[in-house]
Structure 1
């Protein structure tokens, strides 16, 4: 597995189509204001990372996110993806999760209008979620200790 550490990315589709990648202590932010950093990726681990650009995780398979800060500016963060684990992270952008399948969310802080629409097979544990129209049209949901 390739490891990228302590880097800053702001360009469009910075890591497009990558496979078997670990990203640690990185920032997705900057003047180029690029979108879709991890679009169409597979087997990706993101740890201790700051995400401040739009649409970072679209059409991804096998994604692990741990201790990430997904800001208000990072809108529509995870769409059309599957086999996702998100732990110990902040998800504050609008529409942060949509049309995803097989997602585990644990010990996260979610402040995201329209969160979880049309998702399926979601397990949320020890997580605080504030959202309008939370999980609309979602299927097969399991919650443990959700605020």
Structure 2
């Protein structure tokens, strides 16, 4: 394998088309697309300072490295990428990429990041920015932390464990989402989504969980969540806390210790299609 160690590289396409190369303790200064069209690259303890560092690449690993603010739109059209212990202080990272594994990655400026990507593994990833994960699919995340609105809009086949999502309009327009043991805070959760399941989750959402087909809640807490389940069909919900209010569910079963207000407009829906059970006992 070729080795580049403790270099400072400048200029456009500084290592264009590099193959079978280990890059260590190197700084990529001004100059666009330094590693465009690279193959079989291992990068460690390296700093990227300028735009488009990893475009159209294949088989790349990055460890213990930093992408500074001006490494904008850093990773597009790249497949088979692993990142471990990396700071990505850049926006619009990851577009139309496939087979991504991110572990211990911090993204403090992640607006419009991870768009139209597929086959994604996230483990201990922290994200701040709007529109994270838009139109991406086949995502498995553990210990994910998201701060920023509209996360996962249009995503498909998403599985999230032990995570915290502080995000308005999360999971809109999605297909096939399962969330385990997580906290989701934000208005209008999961509207216009098909097949979404929450298991042992804590949810706080003004007018959350509406306009959904096939909604499942298993042993979830709904806190400060009002006008829930509007126009939802095929509901299977077991909630362990009081629900502030529900409005015009289309069909299914809702069980909770207590429901503050139940709005059923027979001009809008058929109330007989939804079974509503108040057990009177709260965990």
TM-score tier (shorter): over 0.9
CA distance in 2, matches of 1:91, 1:124: 14
CA distance in 1, matches of 2:138, 2:102: 14
Point out 4+ residue stretches in structure 1 off by more than 2 angstroms: none
CA distance in 1, matches of 2:102, 2:74: 14
TM-score of the pair, normalised by structure 1: 0.96
Match of 2:73 in 1: 76
CA distance in 2, matches of 1:52, 1:96: 14
Per-residue deviation at 1:130? 1.2
Deviations 1:1-49 (A, max 9, x none): 00100000111100000100010000011xxx21000000100011000
Match of 1:18 in 2: 18
CA distance in 2, matches of 1:15, 1:137: 31
Match of 2:126 in 1: 128
Structure 2: any 5+ residue segments left out of the alignment? 146-283
TM-score of the pair, normalised by structure 2: 0.50
CA distance in 1, matches of 2:31, 2:48: 11
Match of 2:51 in 1: 54
Match of 2:112 in 1: 114
Per-residue deviation at 1:94? 1.1
Of the three residues 90, 94, 116, the one matched with 2:91 is 94
Match of 1:103 in 2: 100
Deviations 1:68-96 (A, max 9, x none): 11011110111001000011000111111
CA distance in 1, matches of 2:128, 2:119: 20
Match of 1:35 in 2: 32
Compare the two structures and name the one with the higher strand fraction.
Answer: 2
Deviations 1:91-115 (A, max 9, x none): 1111111110000000010122111
User: Which structure's relative contact order is higher, taking Cα pairs within 8 Å and 6+ residues apart?
Assistant: 1
Q: What number of residue pairs does the alignment pair up? A: 144
Match of 2:61 in 1: 64
Give 3-state SS (helix, strand or coil) of 1:67's partner: strand
